[in-house]
Amino acid sequence: AQKVTQAQTEISVVEKEDVTLDCVYETRDTTYYLFWYKQPPSGELVFLIRRNSFDEQNEISGRYSWNFQKSTSSFNFTITASQVVDSAVYFCALSEAADSWGKLQFGAGTQVVVTP
Amino acid sequence: DAGVIQSPRHEVTEMGQEVTLRCKPISGHDYLFWYRQTMMRGLELLIYFNNNVPIDDSGMPEDRFSAKMPNASFSTLKIQPSEPRDSAVYFCASGRQAGEQFFGPGTRLTVL
């Protein structure tokens, strides 16, 4: 069963618009980690953020912000004032204690297209 | 510090040939992962090692795939014999326990 769901396949925005990417996860563990990765057209996977299950504080890093809500099992990602360079596929991922932290289970990814 | 290094970056081979993909993890990382990415299946974990020992190979598609990690600074993923459906981008990643995984640039494999 899919443990990480990214329901949005593709989001298209015009530059300077905000875009929010949804991520819903499923786990029975009380201790787990959530991640976001970016895959630009060049193909490499770039780590953006890691959040543990005990830290529900929202985080902001520049134009990026993350909203973690355990009550809804969601870890959403917002890009504020999007730029063309933000065009990429964004992956949400889950790591569970039950897997000895080894596995990153990825969602299907959301393609973000930012046009000038 | 250099990132994860993978070679080759591109590989084109014919069906039935043996393919060996190589990975050098980031120094000091005790976890190493092999992933495969395709349009149909997305990112799949094939196998991962902890301190050079294979921990979970349940993602390895079949016996044609094998992976080794003879030491902390080198790992290989071998496909023998290769088939067209093995065409994909293969990523190697390394990390520390519960930490973020750092990915290599990937090897784009095409099996004709």
Q: Write out pLDDT tens, residues B72-88.
A: 999 999 999 999 999 99
The CA-atom distances, in angstroms, between A24 and each of A75, B9, B52, B75 are 6, 33, 33, 33
CA atoms of A44 and A37, how far apart (whole Å): 10
pLDDT at B76: 98
pLDDT at B93: 95
Q: Helices (DSSP H) in A2-91: which residue ranges?
A: none
Closest chain B residue to A33, measured at CA = B98
Q: What are the respective helix, strand and coil percentages of chain B, to the nearest 5?
A: 5, 55, 40
Question: Number of residue pairs across A and B with CB atoms under 8 Å?
Answer: 47
Q: How far is B12 from chain A (nearest CA, A)?
A: 18
Please report residues of B whose CB lies closer than 8 A to that of A46. Answer: 103
How close B60 comes to chain A (CA, Å)? Answer: 14
Summarised one tens digit per residue, pLDDT across range A73-107 is 999 999 999 999 999 999 999 988 766 667 788 99
**Residue in chain A lying closest to B51 (CA):** A102
Beta-carbon separation of A44 and B105 below 8 A: yes
